[in-house]
Amino acid sequence: MEFCTVGPEDLETIAIISEQHLTHGKKILEEIRHHRNLKDYFGVKAVEKGEMIGFYTCIENDIVFTLPHPEMKSLIEKMTAGEKTITGDTLYVKPAWRGKGIASELARRVTAMARERDGKYFLTEAWIHPEGVTPAKKIVVFNGEVIFEKIIPFFYRDLSKYGMECPICGKDCRCGAQVQLHRL
């Protein structure tokens, strides 16, 4: 297995995988493609025999959530006081490859990249399924020391208003989020 920097040639694959396996809908494809064209977009991918099996992407110098949450964005902006903040955008590993430490290694490497880019903070938004499972909970710890955390029930309830659908709940999303600010 090989870990490499995400390049422009990977952007469409990442958009398609994200739409198929994460938040669904035309709107998410548009958003993903928009973010992936930003110069401050970066990440790491895991490749096995020429196939991308996982990736962790980030957005530099912007506080971004899956859906607009202006009150949370404002709070994070106050806490970071203009210091360079990296937002974890998408973390994904194909199901057949889960449980092998790939996501942890992706997180370690993307955190190192964030530090190399002189990031001071790293923002994560981890999905909490309705039954309480948080798949990324053991992974986001690699993004630095947690200095702020907030669990927000029904964080994604408005997905359908933005043309998206939850991969777990469908159009009536009941999932929450674990928002964390990490010091790099």
pLDDT confidence band for 22 (50 / 70 / 90): low
Q: Is the pLDDT of residue 169 over 60?
A: yes
Return d(Cα 5, Cα 50) in angstroms, integer: 14
CB 2 within 8 A of CB 23: no
pLDDT, position 45: 98
The pTM score is: 0.90
Instruction: Please tell me the least confidently modeled range out of 10-14, 41-45, 116-120, 153-157.
Output: 10-14
pLDDT, position 11: 82
Calculate ∠ Cα 28-20-136, nearest 5°: 85
Q: Is the pLDDT of residue 99 over 60?
A: yes
Q: Is the pLDDT of residue 130 over 70?
A: yes
Q: Is the pLDDT of residue 30 over 70?
A: no
pLDDT confidence band for 13 (50 / 70 / 90): confident
CATH classification of 2-183, choosing from 3.40.50.880, 3.40.630.30, 3.30.70.260, 1.10.600.10? 3.40.630.30
pLDDT, position 98: 94
Segments making up each domain of the chain, as ranges = 2-183
CB 94 within 8 A of CB 46: no
Average pLDDT, stretch 140-161? 94
What distance separates the 2 farthest-apart alpha carbons in the chain?
A: 45
Signed CA dihedral, 156, 162, 79, 56: sign only? positive
Q: Is the pLDDT of residue 23 over 70?
A: no
Return d(Cα 81, Cα 21) in angstroms, integer: 35
pLDDT, position 40: 85
| Residue 28, both tokens | 């998410």
Comparing C-alpha atoms, which of 43, 39, 95, 29 is closest to residue 62?
A: 39
pLDDT confidence band for 85 (50 / 70 / 90): very high
